[in-house]
Amino acid sequence: MNKPAYNMEFIGRKLRECRIKNGYSAETIRKYIGLGTVQSIYRIETGKQMPSTEALLLLMELYGLSPEDLKETAYRPILIRQADFIIRCYLTKLVLLECGNN
């Protein structure tokens, strides 16, 4: 059986993205999950601190996340599409510059 790939930095980014998308402040989330300081929220959101199991479950429920949403592979297709778009824009700009169009 293959073990799923969970990455704390990815999970933290996902949690921060959901917090901001839902309009919650770090202080509101700190109170909701019962942490001592707002810095704890920021450490979780940057992947420097692992949330407790209870805190993670509370956040997943609040944000409507499943375990699948927290796997890094669930995000990769979006990143690949964004990178592809950026590369195409860059190449188009190079072609235009080469042709003398700015």
Pair 85, 47 in one domain: no
Pair 50, 79 in one domain: no
> Could you say which DSSP state residue 71 is in?
B
pTM over 0.75: no
H or E element in which residue 32 lies: helix 26-33
Pair 64, 91 in one domain: no
pLDDT at 69: 85
* Distances, alpha carbon 6 to alpha carbons 16, 22, 36, 84, in Å: 16, 23, 25, 25
Query: Going residue by residue through the chain (102 aa), what tens digit of pLDDT does each one get?
Result: 666 667 888 899 999 999 999 999 999 999 999 999 999 999 999 999 988 889 999 999 999 998 888 887 655 555 555 666 666 666 666 666 666 655
Pair 79, 47 in one domain: no
Which residues form the domain of 18? 1-70
Q: Which two tokens stand for residue 43?
A: 């450490």
CATH number at residue 5: 1.10.260.40
Pair 39, 84 in one domain: no
How many structural domains are present in the chain?
Answer: 2
Pair 51, 29 in one domain: yes
Pair 23, 38 in one domain: yes
